[in-house]
Amino acid sequence: MKKKFRNLSLGAKVMITIGAALVVLTAFDVWFSTKKEKDIMYKDIKKWTFVFAENVRTTLNTLMREDKMDIRFSMLDAMSKEISGVEHVRIIRGPKVDEGFRMIDEQELIPREMEAIKAYKDDIASLEGDLRAARDPDERAEIKEEIEDIKGYIADAEAKITKARIVRETDPREVPKDDLDREVLATGKPIYHFAGDKGRVLIPYIAQKSCSSTSGCRKMARRATSSAR
């Protein structure tokens, strides 16, 4: 092969060399264009998934404020079915989330409800004094009705305290399932995992200690993550 190449004319050698260079440059151009297109696509995916995760977060905050967190799973299932290109959406709880909620309940909710119960009992004691002094049947009936209403408020407050003292267990659907889930919870950094035409994106939610209770974070620095495929 080398001997045949040496026997070629100078013009032929130049043409072969140029042809080989063009093949190499063409292959490089195709590779570079493909890589550039993939980079643009991945950048768009990262941007879209971040916006999507923010929408999920604000929706969860709304559900939390309205005490409707029980419907979060049906909401996520609906997103998975209705949003084109999304195969599965789920929320993963960090290991300290339930512990944090229990601490908040012990420090804020339970003392608040106990204080309310004390105030309700003081109101009942005052109303019972009014009842003993009252002679008009209608007035007595009205006072008795008011006392029963307050007893209902006390029962509600006691039920909240009982519920707050129950040790919460993480729902199996929110438990980390693999190394990627555990990694994003441990590092607090987004993970983008692509394989062929499929991708998996994990976006961490990191609440700050200064966040307002009105935002749904309940003043607790906690970490959860949204996982979309």
Strand partners, 93: 224
169 in any annotated domain: no
The residue ranking higher by pLDDT, 175 or 212, is 175
- pLDDT of 187 over the 50 cut: yes
- Torsion, Cα 206 211 213 216, to 10 degrees, reads -30
List the domain range (segments joined by +) for residue 123.
100-164
- pLDDT at 80 (0 to 100): 85
If asked whether residues 126 and 26 sit together in one domain, one would say no
Q: Which of 164, 190, 208 is the last residue in one of the domains?
A: 164
DSSP secondary structure, 4-67, as one string: HHHHS-HHHHHHHHHHHHHHHHHHHHHHHHHHHHHHHHHHHHHHHHHHHHHHHHHHHHHHHHTT
If asked whether residues 120 and 90 sit together in one domain, one would say no
- pLDDT at 90 (0 to 100): 87
If asked whether residues 14 and 69 sit together in one domain, one would say yes
- pLDDT at 221 (0 to 100): 34
If asked whether residues 87 and 181 sit together in one domain, one would say yes
Please tell me the total count of domains within the chain: 2
pLDDT band at 79 (very low <50, low <70, confident <90, very high): confident
Q: Which of 164, 198, 213 is the last residue in one of the domains?
A: 164
138 in any annotated domain: yes
Q: Are 57 and 79 in contact (CB under 8 A)?
A: no
If asked whether residues 184 and 219 sit together in one domain, one would say yes
For the stretch 154-159, contacts whose Cβ atoms lie closer than 8 Å and that sit 24 or more positions apart, written own/partner, are 154/117, 154/120, 154/121, 157/113, 157/114, 157/116, 157/117, 157/120, 158/113, 158/117
For all residues of the chain together, what is the average pLDDT?
77
If asked whether residues 124 and 192 sit together in one domain, one would say no
1 in any annotated domain: no
- pLDDT at 27 (0 to 100): 58
213 in any annotated domain: yes
31 in any annotated domain: yes
pLDDT tens per residue, range 125-152: 999 999 999 999 899 999 999 999 999 9
If asked whether residues 201 and 146 sit together in one domain, one would say no
Give the Cβ contact number of residue 21 at 10 Å: 10
Q: Which of 164, 194, 220 is the last residue in one of the domains?
A: 164
188 in any annotated domain: yes
Strand partners, 97: none
- pLDDT of 4 over the 80 cut: no
- pLDDT at 91 (0 to 100): 87
If asked whether residues 107 and 204 sit together in one domain, one would say no
If asked whether residues 159 and 47 sit together in one domain, one would say no
222 in any annotated domain: yes
If asked whether residues 30 and 89 sit together in one domain, one would say yes
Average pLDDT over residues 208-213: 52
- pLDDT of 108 over the 50 cut: yes
If asked whether residues 78 and 104 sit together in one domain, one would say no
Residue where the block lists tokens 């043409």 = 15
If asked whether residues 182 and 81 sit together in one domain, one would say yes
Range picked from 80-84, 88-92, 116-120, 222-226 for highest mean pLDDT: 116-120
pLDDT tens per residue, range 10-68: 555 445 555 555 555 555 555 556 667 777 777 888 888 888 888 888 888 888 888 78
- pLDDT of 200 over the 80 cut: yes
Alpha helices (H) in 66-203, listed in sequence order: 72-82, 97-104, 110-133, 137-164, 179-187
- pLDDT at 109 (0 to 100): 86
111 in any annotated domain: yes
pLDDT band at 212 (very low <50, low <70, confident <90, very high): very low
pLDDT band at 214 (very low <50, low <70, confident <90, very high): very low
- pLDDT at 2 (0 to 100): 46
Strand partners, 224: 93, 205
